[in-house]
Amino acid sequence: MILVIVVGGVVAFIFRDSLSGSANNLVVGDCFTVPAGGTVSDVQHDPCGQPHTGEVVAVFDYPNPPSVFPGLDAIKSVVTAQCPPAFQAYTGQDLQSAAAIDVGYFYPAQDNWDSDKQIICYATPVDGNPVSVSYRKSP
């Protein structure tokens, strides 16, 4: 029984890039299909060399979080301050000069604020068409 669990864990790790999973489990460098609007709980992971519409450039907790949901304007302020520098560090491009790439983000829902303060910034094609390359800058 232990062998099956270990093998299952190894198989899940190897194919993680092609599995659907919680948006909260995204890490920097993950490529995925950006869901269409609304509340997002799960995303489809995609290998960066295959068509995808999002690539995670930063994951961080809301800084100095208040005890109650701060509101969308406060979240946008944090995103505006932190996502563009993370985008530039990850891609090597200034967001304003990256004509074909934009930044999107996921943020905690008001209903989950007590347990979730995570913000995820991701690079996405401006035209919404999938790309099959990573936006990560070359070392």
Determine, yes or no, domain membership for 133. Answer: no
> Residue 82's closest CA among 55, 60, 56?
60
Q: What is the dihedral of CA 93, 133, 121, 79, to 10 degrees?
A: 30
Give the 3-state secondary structure of residue 110. helix
How many domains is the chain built from?
A: 1
Domain span holding position 53: 2-125
* pLDDT tens, N- to C-terminus, the chain (139 residues): 343 444 443 333 434 444 567 888 999 999 999 988 778 888 999 999 999 999 999 999 999 999 999 999 999 999 999 999 999 999 999 988 888 999 999 999 999 999 999 999 999 999 999 999 999 998 7
Domain-embedded: residue 134: no
- The reply to whether 108 falls in a domain is yes
- Its pTM stands at 0.83
